Amino acid sequence: MAEEICLFIKDGLIIKAPKKSPVLLRTIVLVFVMVCGVYICSVCLKQTNFSTKTKFLNIEVLESYCHEYDIDRSETPYLHYPKPKTFRRAECSCNPVRLFAILSMQRSGSGWFETLLNSHVNASSNGEIFSVKGRRENASSITKTLDRVYNLDWFTSASKNQCSAAVGFKWMLNQGLPEHHKEIVQYFNDRGVSVIFLFRKNLLRRMVSVIANSYDRYAKLLNGTHKSHVHSIEEAETLSRYKPVINLTSLMTDLKQMEVTVMKTLEQFQSTRHIILFYEDLVKNRTKLVDVQEFLKLPLMELISRQVKIHKGPLSEHIENWDDVNKTLQGTVYERFLHADY
Ligand SMILES: *[C@@H]1O[C@H](CO)[C@@H](O)[C@H](O)[C@H]1NC(C)=O
Ligand SMILES: *[C@@H]1O[C@H](CO)[C@@H](O)[C@H](O)[C@H]1NC(C)=O
Ligand SMILES: *[C@@H]1O[C@H](CO)[C@@H](O)[C@H](O)[C@H]1NC(C)=O
Ligand SMILES: *[C@@H]1O[C@H](CO)[C@@H](O)[C@H](O)[C@H]1NC(C)=O
Ligand SMILES: *[C@@H]1O[C@H](CO)[C@@H](O)[C@H](O)[C@H]1NC(C)=O
Ligand SMILES: *[C@@H]1O[C@H](CO)[C@@H](O)[C@H](O)[C@H]1NC(C)=O
């Protein structure tokens, strides 16, 4: 079409441009030709754009032959049909996979939460993959790792490769997240990764758990092995027999620091599709797990975990210098941590 116009104009030019025309006429013709040229160029460009677009659409159609059309169109950015390099998804290749990341802090119940999630036949949460430093060294090593996990090419005991409907991992806030948050948010939004924030309301209890866990790293209270999570009441009792001494000098600033870290993360990741969970709510109200499954659009199932809570009952039983801690926090914004269960 554009070529035809080009020819016609050329012809027109040859026919119509008289050889001995006045300067004014020549200028008018010249301007006319220039305007035409620009117009034709723009038409040609538009056509090229259009044809690449159709090509692109064709590829999309080919790749999405197994999209289910009863799925809400607004969900499309969150649906993935990975083609793993390491195995074939076989009859599950048309099971859409949703990508997620659990953003949490140590000793906030994320280990327990992950076992619950992994008890779902279609969910794979691959643990703390960024605990290895090399994987979070820079934005490109992070991206490479994420690509592998989300392409189902990452193998852990949690992998349910073929029929996964949700795949992810847990990411602690001190594992390169604040440093690379811009690139990570970009990646999450580009790939449609859903974020599950899991925090603990009672930061004093979290502090007790952190100190006790790092003490056990050296003390190895369970027959000489260090355990962060336990599966029996006896083991839980053994571990909780150790009562940490809380540093009163830094107590207030330490609690404040934890709070700031959480607020900062929520702010940095607010543009992602996300859900905010609190450990205490999950403990008290198992229907919260329904919210999680709905968030990940998983078929609803009863989720189970064999893990047993380590520090049960009132906090006063778990802190060596309780009276001082009680006094220090009385009348402060953190007083509520003294009373709350869990
Ligand atoms: C990123 O880190 C990886 C792993 O340590 C390293 O091999 C790579 O060269 C780094 N890339 C850049 C761009 O710094
Ligand atoms: C969940 O997994 C089961 C067993 O692998 C499979 O039959 C089913 O299609 C999967 N469901 C979804 C929604 O992926
Ligand atoms: C530790 O050893 C005792 C006695 O040998 C045994 O009864 C207990 O089950 C062991 N506990 C663990 C966690 O292995
Ligand atoms: C308690 O915290 C303060 C301030 O961070 C620090 O200077 C001090 O060494 C800590 N005390 C103990 C026993 O760790
Ligand atoms: C438990 O959680 C569900 C889902 O979030 C909520 O609708 C319900 O009100 C909660 N129940 C209680 C007792 O908090
Ligand atoms: C904490 O201290 C207050 C008064 O200072 C006291 O009334 C309260 O019983 C103490 N709480 C516990 C659990 O010891």
**What are the tokens at 280?**
């205490």
154 close to 86: Cβ distance less than 8 angstroms: no
Would you state the pLDDT for residue 131?
A: 94
- 153 CB near ligand 3 (under 6 Å): no
Would you state the pLDDT for residue 55?
A: 46
d(CA 295, CA 142): 25
128 close to 170: Cβ distance less than 8 angstroms: yes
Question: Whose C-alpha lies nearest to ligand 5, atom 4?
Answer: 288
Q: Which residues, 6+ apart, have CB-to-CB distance to 113 below 8 Å?
A: 102, 104, 198, 277, 279, 282
- Which residue stretches of the chain have pLDDT < 70? 1-21, 36-70, 342
Closest CA to 210 of 165, 168, 257, 177: 257
**What are the tokens at 282?**
């999950």
Would you state the pLDDT for residue 342?
A: 65
Q: What does the angle CA 300 – CA 303 – CA 306 come to, to the nearest 5 degrees? A: 170
Would you state the pLDDT for residue 225?
A: 85
- Which numbered ligand comes closest to the C-alpha of 286? 5
Q: For the packed helices 139-150 and 181-191, what is the interaxial angle rounded to 10 degrees?
A: 30
- Nearest atom, ligand 6, residue 315 CA: 13
Q: Compute the distance from residue 83 Cα to the ligand 1 centre, in Å.
A: 26
- Interval 81-122: pLDDT, tens: 888 888 888 888 888 899 999 999 999 999 999 999 999 999
Question: Whose C-alpha lies nearest to ligand 3, atom 3?
Answer: 223
Phi, psi of 167 (to 5 degrees): -130, 140
Closest CA to 309 of 167, 184, 212, 189: 212
d(CA 319, CA 330): 16
**What are the tokens at 128?**
């703390």
- 313 CB near ligand 6 (under 6 Å): no
- Which numbered ligand comes closest to the C-alpha of 247? 4
d(CA 337, CA 57): 56
Among 66, 92, 118, residue to substitute to test ligand 2 (most atoms within 8 Å of Cβ):
92
- 81 CB near ligand 2 (under 6 Å): no
Would you state the pLDDT for residue 48?
A: 53
**pTM value?**
0.78
Q: Compute the distance from residue 223 Cα to the ligand 3 centre, in Å.
A: 6
Question: Whose C-alpha lies nearest to ligand 1, atom 7?
Answer: 141
d(CA 274, CA 133): 26
**What are the tokens at 202?**
């009672």
Would you state the pLDDT for residue 103?
A: 97
- Nearest atom, ligand 4, residue 248 CA: 1
Q: Compute the distance from residue 327 Cα to the ligand 6 centre, in Å.
A: 8
Q: Compute the distance from residue 125 Cα to the ligand 2 centre, in Å.
A: 16
d(CA 254, CA 319): 16
Q: Where are the alpha helices (DSSP H) in the chain?
A: 2-16, 23-63, 110-118, 139-150, 181-191, 203-219, 233-240, 248-268, 279-284, 288-295, 322-329, 336-339
- 330 CB near ligand 6 (under 6 Å): yes
Three-state secondary structure call for residue 76: helix
DSSP state of 99: E
- Which numbered ligand comes closest to the C-alpha of 137? 1
Would you state the pLDDT for residue 162?
A: 75
Among 324, 326, 339, residue to substitute to test ligand 6 (most atoms within 8 Å of Cβ):
326
- 166 CB near ligand 2 (under 6 Å): no
d(CA 219, CA 179): 33
DSSP 279-302: HHHHHH-TTHHHHHHHHTTPPP--
- Which numbered ligand comes closest to the C-alpha of 71? 2
